[in-house]
Amino acid sequence: MNNRRKKILQELGLTPIWKKRTDSTPESLTSESRETTSATMKDLPASASEVTCDHPVHSMNWDQLKLTVSNCTACALCETRKNTVFGVGDEQADWLFVGEGPGAREDEIGEPFVGQAGKLLDQMLTAIGLKRGSNVYIANIVKCRPPNNRNPSDTEASACEPFLNRQIQLIAPKLIVALGKVSAGNLLNRNDSLSSMRGKVHEYSGIPLIVTYHPAYLLRALPDKAKAWKDLCFAKATMESLL
């Protein structure tokens, strides 16, 4: 590991960091690579949930979580991503919007919802008196772009789940809005149609959750924009009842 990276990890209290559940250190390894206090890329766990060291994902602070995601190789999406897309916004927001995963533009920039769908999301926020970054946080089910914008697989979504889960714990939003079937399906752990999940207040870890259409879908299905507007009004009314 280069010294700069080691220093950053040390400053964040991340060394020792990765410890696999099974210790299968071969005899042939050099003393440098046998050192359990080093966090090299090849030492990273096969799944984010396998981290069993002093800093498991569920007890990381923001800096630790951001650094961990930026180095994550827990699923195959790490092989094709340009940038991880951690999430953006007010870290104490009442509102959390959760999309599916980064697209091409997000992968380039490292920020969620910056492409065409992002413009529509910004308009959706404006429609209910909200603004990106102000009392709003935006994240995705997976932090790395699925190639060709395919849906993330269940394996990829599960590998990434501890990160979103920790973000949600740290933000402690009052209301989560799941954007689209992939987001809602993963957060609610069900495989129902989007229409059957709309119009109800669900729950994620005790936090109220409302489902609406994904903005990328709305760009292709304009008539459903009216339904999305209805969902947003429902979300706003729900938030008002929570405050």
Is the Cα torsion angle 169, 170, 173, 177 positive or negative in sign? negative
The answer to whether residue 69 forms part of the interface with ligand SF4 (CB under 6 A) is yes
- The residue range among 6-14, 68-76, 109-117, 166-174 that interacts with ligand SF4, by the rule CB under 6 A, is 68-76
Q: Which two tokens stand for residue 229?
A: 């507007």
Q: Which of 212, 213, 192 is nearest to 201 (CA)?
A: 212
The answer to whether residue 77 forms part of the interface with ligand SF4 (CB under 6 A) is yes
Look-up: residue for tokens 């990273």? Answer: 44
The answer to whether residue 162 forms part of the interface with ligand URA (CB under 6 A) is no
Could you give the maximum distance between any two Cα atoms of the chain, in Å? 64
- The residue range among 14-22, 71-79, 89-97, 122-130 that interacts with ligand SF4, by the rule CB under 6 A, is 71-79
Q: In the beta sheet, which residues pair with residue 209?
A: 176, 202
Name which position in 106, 107, 156, 231 contacts ligand URA (CB under 6 A). Answer: 106
The answer to whether residue 146 forms part of the interface with ligand URA (CB under 6 A) is no
Name which position in 45, 87, 99, 146 contacts ligand URA (CB under 6 A). Answer: 99
What gap in Å lies between CA 91 and CA 171, rounded to an integer? 5
- The listed partner (ligand URA, ligand SF4, none) that binds 144, CB under 5 to 8 Å by sort, is ligand SF4
Q: What share of the chain is helix, strand, coil (3-state, %, to 5)?
A: 45, 10, 40
- The listed partner (ligand URA, ligand SF4, none) that binds 160, CB under 5 to 8 Å by sort, is ligand SF4
Look-up: residue for tokens 């994902």? Answer: 57
Q: Which of 186, 226, 231 is nearest to 210 (CA)?
A: 231
- The listed partner (ligand URA, ligand SF4, none) that binds 77, CB under 5 to 8 Å by sort, is ligand SF4
Q: Which two tokens stand for residue 45?
A: 């766990």
- The listed partner (ligand SF4, ligand URA, none) that binds 69, CB under 5 to 8 Å by sort, is ligand SF4
Residues contributing to the site for ligand SF4 (CB under 6 A): 48, 69, 72-75, 77-78, 84, 142-144, 156, 159-160
